[in-house]
Structure 1
Amino acid sequence: MKTLTKTFRMISGAAAPIALGAAALGVCATLSPAPVLAAPASSNAAKLDQAVKALRAITTLKADFIQRDRNGGQVKGTLTLKRPGRIRFEYEKSVPMLIVGDGKALTMIDYEVNQVQRWPIKNSPLGALLDPSRDVAKYGTVRDTGNPDVISVEVRDSEHPEYGIITLIFTRKASAPGGLELAYWVALDAQNTRTTIQLSNQRYGVAVGEDAFRWKDPRPRRRTH
């Protein structure tokens, strides 16, 4: 766990915007990365539209997640999402870090070193989740999975490679919004650092108060935001 905590602290460095996105966007290492082959052109548009509609159909979401890095380090946590644009990644007690999005900016709070940093959501891979109509619809490319019940969408802005790449993996599930469930995703930054998160126990349409996106400022003489 000390290694993971050190890795998280590195997020506060020069590559913070990319690393922040990677820290909050990943995939379980036991699942294979999305194939890079392009799907048939005739089905690309329909699948991409399905993925965007599924993300937009989520009003609120709570889920458990497991995050792994390329070296096998692992932490668990809880994801909370609420439209429009709010998100919270709360890690297990052994990881004194919190990531909160308020619709405009992402805030990373490191309670171990009493540090707070903020970045525009549009500069983070998290934009794909929080504004799918803009990011996924515009920058998404469907990749062939070889399974009709699994849709893989790679999101990258070729004009801004520093933002990194996200591959979102959906599985067909009738009870999920839009008939697709976001199962996991992979984040790859410009330094080829891959972080992975797998979702489980997804709950849709649950009550989520605004207090879920408030946080206590660890800096001296600061208050709750």
Structure 2
Amino acid sequence: MKTRILTALTGVALLGAVAFIGTGAIAQTADQTASPIAMPATAIAAPQAVPALAPGVITYSPEQATAVATQAEQWLQQLKTARARFLLTAGNGTQLIGTFYLNRPGKLRFDYDDPVKDFVVADGVFIYFYDANLGEQSNAPIGQTLADFLLRSDIRLSGDVKVDSVVESGGLIQIKLSQTADAGAGSLTLGFTREPFQLKKWRVVDPQGSVSEVELFQMQTGVALERDLFVYRDPQKKAGSLNQ
């Protein structure tokens, strides 16, 4: 019997492993196939990606690292709404492309381009992953997933997360984060462009060493977004019917 842990919810389409925040919150759904990033048949050609997040070439001093982390924190704090195209790359090289929507606090959506019909949506309380092949959804409270880091109203690069390093490599300023209480639970690296300073890419390494990476492009911030984008609707039900 195959199982898919809800890490697919944030590892495939968002930030990597739910285990990064706490495996106690992970839900399991039986008789499910591998996540979309493991389906080569649905891989879609994507625009040229920026260089991958790689080991640093320039290592920042503690003072520089603090200044950059503060700048990143301030940028994330002021980010309220956004729309962007995204390129997801799995550790096996499989790539998928789609559109990302953000409405902080609490809400986001990832829609894949055709022919992939899967999607991810956070409605302010729960985050849902819909598997079109199975016609089923998995979900978890946002606060029990890594998505909480991006969706919380007060984003801090301190407290329950800590900055492990700040380096510059591959044309990106890279800030590596880990869980303060359990550094072995995985890592999240945020990649920022310098001019303008904004989030370009994130990379998650889970406790088993599996890597997922998401690049954003054509990013627009401060945009008006339809409320319906952040409501989970079961595609198998009639139009307008909410999943309860």
Q: Same fold (TM over 0.5)?
A: yes
Letter in 1 for 2:213: T
Which of 130, 137, 152 is residue 116 of structure 1 equivalent to? 137
Q: Which residue of 2 aligns with 1:159?
A: 181
Q: Is the 8 A contact 2:53 2:174 kept in 1?
A: no
Q: Which residue of 2 aligns with 1:223?
A: 241
Letter in 2 for 1:62: R
How far the C-alpha of 1:141 sits from its partner, in A, is 1.1
Once the two structures are superposed, the pairs formed by residues 164-203 of structure 1 within 5 Å of their partners are 164-174=186-196, 180-203=197-220
Q: Percent identity over the alignment?
A: 26
How far the C-alpha of 1:155 sits from its partner, in A, is 2.1
Q: Which residue of 2 aligns with 1:4?
A: none
- In structure 1, the residue corresponding to 2:157 is in which secondary structure? helix
How far the C-alpha of 1:30 sits from its partner, in A, is 5.8
- In structure 2, the residue corresponding to 1:66 is in which secondary structure? strand
- Per-residue Cα deviation, 1:118-156 (whole angstroms, up to 9, x for no partner): 112233222232227455333131634346x84322222
- In structure 2, the residue corresponding to 1:152 is in which secondary structure? strand
Gapped runs of 5+ residues in structure 2? Answer: 17-47
Q: Which residue of 2 aligns with 1:5?
A: none
Give the whole-Å Cα distance in 2 for the aligned partners of 1:169 and 1:132: 21
| Structure 1 stretch displaced more, 207-216 or 121-130 | 121-130
- Per-residue Cα deviation, 1:143-190 (whole angstroms, up to 9, x for no partner): 34346x84322222143468632101111234xxxxx21010101112
Q: Which residue of 1 aligns with 2:60?
A: 39
- Per-residue Cα deviation, 1:9-67 (whole angstroms, up to 9, x for no partner): x7x62x32x33221123699762324368631112222111111101111210000111
Which of 116, 132, 137 is residue 95 of structure 1 equivalent to? 116
Residue 20 (structure 1) aligned with residue 9 (structure 2): yes
Give the whole-Å Cα distance in 2 for the aligned partners of 1:72 and 1:30: 15
Gapped runs of 5+ residues in structure 1? Answer: 1-9, 175-179
Give the whole-Å Cα distance in 1 for the aligned partners of 2:85 and 2:186: 24
How many residues in Structure 1 have an aligned counterpart in Structure 2? 207
Which of 62, 65, 80 is residue 101 of structure 2 equivalent to? 80
Q: Is the 8 A contact 2:82 2:219 kept in 1?
A: yes
Which structure's residues are more often helix, by fraction?
1
Give the whole-Å Cα distance in 1 for the aligned partners of 2:118 and 2:208: 23
RMSD over equivalenced CA pairs, Å: 2.9
- TM-score (structure 2 length as normaliser): 0.73
Change (3 A) 1:83 1:39: same
Change (3 A) 1:162 1:212: farther
Give the whole-Å Cα distance in 2 for the aligned partners of 1:63 and 1:126: 17
Give the whole-Å Cα distance in 2 for the aligned partners of 1:93 and 1:134: 33
